Amino acid sequence: MEHNSIITFLTDFGTKDPYVGIMKGVVLGITPNCHLIDLTHQVRPQNILQASYLLSVSYPYFPKGTFFVCVIDPGVGTQRKAVLVKAEGYHFIGPDNGLFGFLNNTPPKTIVHLQNEKYFMRPVSKTFHGRDIFAPVAAHLATKGEKIIPDLGPTLTHLVEIERFNPIEKPDSIEGTIVHIDRFGNLISNIHSRFLKGLTPSDMTIRFRRDDIPLVTTFAEAPEGVPGALIGSSSHLEIFVRNGSAEKTLNAKIGEAIHVLKHHG
Amino acid sequence: MEHNSIITFLTDFGTKDPYVGIMKGVVLGITPNCHLIDLTHQVRPQNILQASYLLSVSYPYFPKGTFFVCVIDPGVGTQRKAVLVKAEGYHFIGPDNGLFGFLNNTPPKTIVHLQNEKYFMRPVSKTFHGRDIFAPVAAHLATKGEKIIPDLGPTLTHLVEIERFNPIEKPDSIEGTIVHIDRFGNLISNIHSRFLKGLTPSDMTIRFRRDDIPLVTTFAEAPEGVPGALIGSSSHLEIFVRNGSAEKTLNAKIGEAIHVLKHHG
Amino acid sequence: MEHNSIITFLTDFGTKDPYVGIMKGVVLGITPNCHLIDLTHQVRPQNILQASYLLSVSYPYFPKGTFFVCVIDPGVGTQRKAVLVKAEGYHFIGPDNGLFGFLNNTPPKTIVHLQNEKYFMRPVSKTFHGRDIFAPVAAHLATKGEKIIPDLGPTLTHLVEIERFNPIEKPDSIEGTIVHIDRFGNLISNIHSRFLKGLTPSDMTIRFRRDDIPLVTTFAEAPEGVPGALIGSSSHLEIFVRNGSAEKTLNAKIGEAIHVLKHHG
């Protein structure tokens, strides 16, 4: 059974440094039989909102039981808690800084405040809890199983929330946020297609800053060089520039607002 | 036996996004016992010629039976076919858009048009067949074996060809193409050393644009800052600038022509 | 037992090219039961000092027995030796060009000059010993065990040293070197905290070029935009710019000097 353990990693460490490799070394010293999978290490430094988005669209594609070690941790060394969240059959391990806030809406779940140093690398540094707490706890869980959960620390009832993970729904509009910019410079918003249910393209206007962005269903429908909007492969509304980069064309940033204005016929 | 399955990935997805991790999650949900290996995810967006070159120089180093999931797929969502190619003891899975055209010359082989949705993730999206078709088909094959091949779909007799995968041989010259630019800015051509068989350096002139490029046998022989040519570690003719970047020095692009002019004494 | 073999890779190959994937293919053709782990492939081209630093701070986190295949190899094809070093229970495999020089101080150890072509890919190229020598030797060792060590080649007594791996200790100062620049542009020196033992912040001045750099204990203590110094998570003295890049602010390079001036009260 242990053989099938899957431990994934999501960080803002980049790939120039050996930090990800070091976390894998720590895991393998505890549990040799597991798959070690990288989600991405290119989260913008300390961007919890982006990490939260990337995690939320990735985890459902993994088998139940998968471990998600997430290290976007600007508060490392402060009072922020280290947590294990068991939700929807998955295990999420990392800092309680909003990264896992979207899981508050998925009952029932278990949240554990990781306190038992028996499962840590010691001494625990002030700067690298991925190596010293999150990776070893995932590895111990992978090899020893859920029976150790009560031994990891006290339970919590609620995770720190994160603002703007979901858009704000108003009677006449949806206020969204750019939460990720992909390799192609597409601006991906937090407006999942479910928020647009029942709306046809003629029922709404997509607005970014002061401009209306035409909504299309495939990249090929848009003229080159001009921003367009569509529902992407992760089911979120995004802004793109065909054969170009919306990020560069618009000089856009993660965190900017995007609006859907609803028409009433 | 399944334990030794090797599934490799070649894409233009980059590593900022979670798409590669998602494909691996899909695979592991179907077959937990496999190696998941990245060839590269830095293929230039939609550059089928470059991907085809990279695949062709990589696959022979893997053990027979290895799966190559290749997702350079500008035509995703259109009528282009999804295929499995069994050739030379390997399995290639991806779009039939020229990427696998070089395998037309390797008889005998099996080409299957992937149509049986039983082996797909459903619903199949219009934009991400790597996740919905190619990865799950590779995983099903890895775990169930070749006996399912007849069930995957009808066979085809020929793969879509790709232009310029091989150079054009003429009586007095060889017309090649730059098919890859490596980390160091070296311009790698499609002229494999076998096309130069029987030629000594004094029998030929390497020409790029209007310039003759001196042919050497090691980087160290060339002066710094000036383009030189040699046969690289993958046995292809390449243009380099010692301690510099030929890509930057020459402002060169994948797809440009390179010529070998043959002398007749 | 073989199942638990761990083979790690440290190179300057980058991730645009298929070279790392090819080495893994070669390994899997020899030993299917192993973990293949990337340390980093973003070592600056041919920067042995940086690679040596990265290796030295990474390997202790891996379980004993782990293989470290290291390919930073500017002298490939020349007379530099290919070696296996067994030290501290680990196996290091690569060129004897200084990369492993820091292991000279860790007795007892075994150094083998890799000469037996039986364990190589043949023919051995002049340009890619990672594929042709280092990866296959690691794989043969992983699957056949240490009993083949005497068959690999003659033993050596000493590894090529590397300058500036350690700082130079003088009565009134420590002369260090920048050996790595991380993702955030932090300048990491070869001055491990053990060289500062017994010194309090008021006992020393950190000097970079002609400037004194204030020494702090956490990033948060430093003003934004101005260089600060601290002991980082790998226990080395580093220079940073809070919410910025010391690399860019100072236009700094690996190899530059950094001094610790000791005060005598």
Query: Shortest CA distance to A239 belongs to which of A207, A204, A210?
Result: A207
pLDDT tens track for C155-202: 999 999 999 999 999 999 999 999 999 998 999 999 999 999 988 888
Residue C161, domain member (yes or no): no
Q: Residue B265: its pLDDT value, please?
A: 55
CB-nearest to A40 from B21, B128, B131 is: B21
pTM of the model: 0.95
Residues B34 and B100 in one domain: yes
Mean pLDDT of all residues belonging to chain B: 94
Nearest to C70 by CA among C105, C30, C97: C97
Q: How far apart are CA B130 and CA B99, in angstroms?
A: 14
- Can you list the residues of chain C whose pLDDT is less than 70? 1-3, 265
Show which residues on chain A lie within 8 Å of chain B, measured between beta carbons: 3-4, 6, 8, 10, 15, 35, 37-42, 54, 57-58, 61-63, 66, 180, 182-184, 218, 232-233
In this structure, what CATH number is given to the domain that contains residue A129? 3.40.50.10790
pLDDT above 70 for B90: yes
Which residues does chain A have with pLDDT short of 70? 1-3, 265
- Domain presence at residue A161: no
CB contact under 8 A, A6 and B21: no
B48 and B68 co-located in one domain: yes
Query: Has residue C163 been placed in a domain?
Result: no
Domain membership of residue C37 as a residue range: 2-156
What is the rounded end-to-end Cα distance, in angstroms, of chain C?
A: 58
pLDDT in tens, B136-192: 999 999 999 999 999 999 999 999 999 999 999 999 999 999 999 999 899 999 999
B28–A233 CB contact, under 8 Å: no
Q: Where are the beta strands (DSSP E) in C103-186?
A: 109-113, 155-156, 168-169, 173-181
Please state the separation of Cα A163 from the chain's center in Å.
Answer: 13
Beta-carbon contacts of B199 under 8 Å, excluding residues fewer than 6 positions away, are B260, B262
pLDDT of B5 over the 90 cut: yes
Chain B: nearest CA to A101, how far in angstroms?
19
**CB–CB of A96/A122 below 8 Å?**
no
Residue C59 half-sphere exposure, CB side, CA atoms within 13 Å? 27
What CA–CA distance (Å, rounded) separates B193 from B222?
20
CATH number at residue A210: 2.40.30.90
Query: Domain total for chain B?
Result: 2
Q: Could you tell me if C18 and C114 lie in one domain?
A: yes
Predicted pLDDT of residue C221: 84
Residue A11 lies in a domain: yes
Closest CA relative to residue C84, chosen from C43, C138, C136: C138
Query: Are residues B31 and B100 located together in one domain of the fold?
Result: yes
Is a pLDDT exceeding 70 seen at residue B1? no
> How far off is chain A from B181, nearest CA to CA, in Å?
19
Cα gap A152→C263, rounded to integer Å: 46
In a domain, C58, yes or no: yes
User: CB C128 to CB B35 under 8 A?
Assistant: no
Average pLDDT rounded to a whole number, residues B190-217:
92
Asked if C10 and C112 sit in the same domain, the reply is yes
Q: Which residue has the higher pLDDT, B4 or C102?
A: C102
Give yes or no for a contact between B199 and B243, defined as CB atoms under 8 angstroms apart: no
Contact between C17 and C29 under an 8 Å Cβ cutoff? The reply is: no
- Spatial distance between the Cα atoms of B181 and B195, rounded to a whole number of angstroms: 20
Of B15, B42, B58, the CB nearest to C22: B58
Give the C-alpha separation, C99 to C108, whole Å. Answer: 18
Residue ranges of chain B whose CB lies within 8 Å of a chain C CB: 3-4, 6, 8, 10, 15, 35, 37-42, 54, 57-58, 61-63, 66, 180, 182-184, 218, 232-233
B201 and B180 in a common domain: yes
Residues B204, B238 within the same domain: yes
Q: Please check whether residues B105 and B188 belong to one and the same domain.
A: no
Closest CA to A242 of A216, A260, A261: A216
CA distance A220 to chain B (A): 10
At C265 the pLDDT is: 55
Whether C162 is covered by a domain: the verdict is no
Interface predicted TM-score of the whole assembly (ipTM), two decimals: 0.94
Q: Is the same domain home to A68 and A132?
A: yes
C124 and C192 share one domain: no
Domain end residue (candidates: A156, A178, A203): A156
pLDDT tens-place string over residues B27-57: 999 999 899 999 999 999 999 999 999 999 9
Alpha carbon distance C119, A108 (integer Å): 55
Do A152 and A211 belong to one domain? no
Contact C61 A29 (CB under 8 A): yes
From the number of C-beta atoms within 10 Å of its C-beta (0-12, 13-18, 19+), residue A122 rates as exposed
Please check whether residues C146 and C194 belong to one and the same domain.
no
Domain boundary among B130, B156, B182: B156
Query: Domain boundary at C156, C176, C208, which?
Result: C156
Distance in Å from the first CA to the final CA of chain A: 58
pLDDT at A265 (0 to 100): 55
